[in-house]
Structure 1
């Protein structure tokens, strides 16, 4: 098992529309492709909203296949176009980390 940590930087003025879009659309569509969202957080500064979420995957191959399917999903593509037209840029940047547990980890995904 591996985890994936994603951190999105969102313009402060798009806080509400971004969170609504993720909650109402992205998370739902992701679920149809096997995404297992473990937790979601926000961290805010004057410059940006940081939206952070943790995913669990059985393997990197599963993760890559699911992301490819999600990004190719026509409903998701249409939602992104519509919400961007209404609110402008939603995401200033994305940090993406694949987290592989150590053999001495006892946290999420650990084996000890």
Structure 2
């Protein structure tokens, strides 16, 4: 049986950050005032941002859109190596401790019967 090729129009990346409830405001401040600005520098296309409350901690969830996996991997590498980002992250950790407990990342491919998703 011949395997069907998958026509990937875009790569969607779902990111879920589990954050300490007592550091929620610290996390939001760092993401909103620093991470978003620096991500823009590296052409991150953020589709949407959400917050979800779990049993113990809260989750910050966002969806990214990439043209392909190679671009996604390169842009993440550049972002994580950015000197300004590394300094901001270090300052947060030194002053208050790291607010993020765990990060989960998933790549999402639409199935052939999915409704069109064109944010």
Offset of 1:62 from its aligned partner?
A: 0.7
- Which of the residues 28, 43, 47 maps onto 1:19? 28
How many pairs were matched up?
Answer: 109
TM-score computed with the length of structure 1 as normaliser: 0.92
Q: Which runs of 5+ in 1 are unaligned?
A: none
Offset of 1:56 from its aligned partner?
A: 0.3
Aligned-partner Cα distance in 2 for 1:29–1:107: 30
| Greater C-alpha radius of gyration | 2
RMSD, aligned α-carbons: 1.2
Offset of 1:42 from its aligned partner?
A: 0.5
TM-score computed with the length of structure 2 as normaliser: 0.87
Residue equivalent to 1:33: 42
Offset of 1:49 from its aligned partner?
A: 1.3
Q: Which runs of 5+ in 2 are unaligned?
A: 1-9
- Which of the residues 101, 107, 112 maps onto 1:103? 112
